[in-house]
Amino acid sequence: MTTSGKFAGRHALITGAGSGIGAAIARALATDGARVTLVGRRKEPLEAVAAEIGAQAFVVDGFDVTSPEAIAQGLARAREKFGPIDILVNNAGEAPSASFEKTSLDTWNHVLSVDLTGVFLVTQAVLPDLKAHGAGARIINIASTAGLKGYGYVSAYVAAKHGVVGLTRSLALEFAKTGMTVNAVCPGFTDTPIIQRSIETIVAKTGRTAEQALGEFTKSNPQGRLVTPEEVADTVLWLASPTAASINGQAIAVAGGEI
């Protein structure tokens, strides 16, 4: 990685940074000079990503986005290492699948807590740093095409991601005059470990081949493929850059034309 680039001197914090989209975002920001704090609950995957990045990366494990105490402790460690945070990427999320009728209240509450309330809690905790930085500060929420349309069998996830898009638009207006921007990136089905596990589950439960199971996810994309994590990361990189200063309150679909 490099200490030069358009994000040199910047401190980005990425939740859910141990794999998939979060890891790709961390790598992209570090390649362009940012110091990146990788946060999540499990230490091993975070350390694996940090090892790729090198000295520009710092790992904060045990970071539960549903716990104000864990967030406060994690942010204290991040600030001690790299100073105030001026780019926040809210990426942590879960997407359990079940029909609406079989979605328990516990599942509903858990998904809303992680995918929506987690964004609220982390953003509120980082906000003093972002406001102090002023113009150029960035909040980028990783939502989903599920925040822009409906999908069956993931009602809690769809509700949470619609909430993330709404929160994004509200905060963009509240902080517009500070020069801070708040945007959401809405990927379609993306080639991540979550999708791979879903394919394995479909194969195990239905007897379909892996190729047939993959087709369940690629059929919604007019390009007939999964989005790559790097494509999502490139969108985040643009939104975080100075040239995107007028992009605010947007929910940008990265989905091959699905939306």
H or E element: which one contains 125? helix 118-133
Q: Is 157 a catalytic residue?
A: yes
Q: How far is CA 190 from the centre of its chain?
A: 12
State the Cα–Cα distance between residues 10 and 84, nearest whole angstrom. Answer: 9
87-90 and 138-142 beta bridge pairing: parallel
State the Cα–Cα distance between residues 199 and 234, nearest whole angstrom. Answer: 26
Reported as a single tens digit per residue, the pLDDT across 191-219 is: 988 888 888 888 888 889 989 989 989 99
H or E element: which one contains 7? none
State the Cα–Cα distance between residues 183 and 119, nearest whole angstrom. Answer: 13
Q: From the candidates 7, 63, 157, 189, which is the catalytic residue?
A: 157
248 has pLDDT over 70: yes
- Residue 199 has a pLDDT of 86
CATH code given to domain 11-189+228-254: 3.40.50.720
- Return the domain boundaries, the chain: 11-189+228-254, 191-226
Asked if residue 92 lies in contact with residue 118, where contact means CB atoms within 8 angstroms, the answer is yes
- The pTM of the full predicted model, rounded to 2 decimals, is 0.95
H or E element: which one contains 182? strand 181-187
H or E element: which one contains 59? strand 57-60
4 has pLDDT over 90: no
Q: How many CA atoms lie within 13 A of 17 on its CB side?
A: 34
Reported as a single tens digit per residue, the pLDDT across 44-79 is: 999 999 999 999 999 999 999 999 999 999 999 999
Mean of the pLDDT values across residues 35-43?
97
State the Cα–Cα distance between residues 146 and 55, nearest whole angstrom. Answer: 36
Region of 16 on the Ramachandran plot (φ > 0 left; ψ -120 to 50 alpha; else beta): left
Reported as a single tens digit per residue, the pLDDT across 117-157 is: 999 999 999 999 999 999 999 999 999 999 999 999 999 99
32 has pLDDT over 70: yes
- Residue 2 has a pLDDT of 64
Reported as a single tens digit per residue, the pLDDT across 159-185 is: 999 999 999 999 999 999 999 999 999
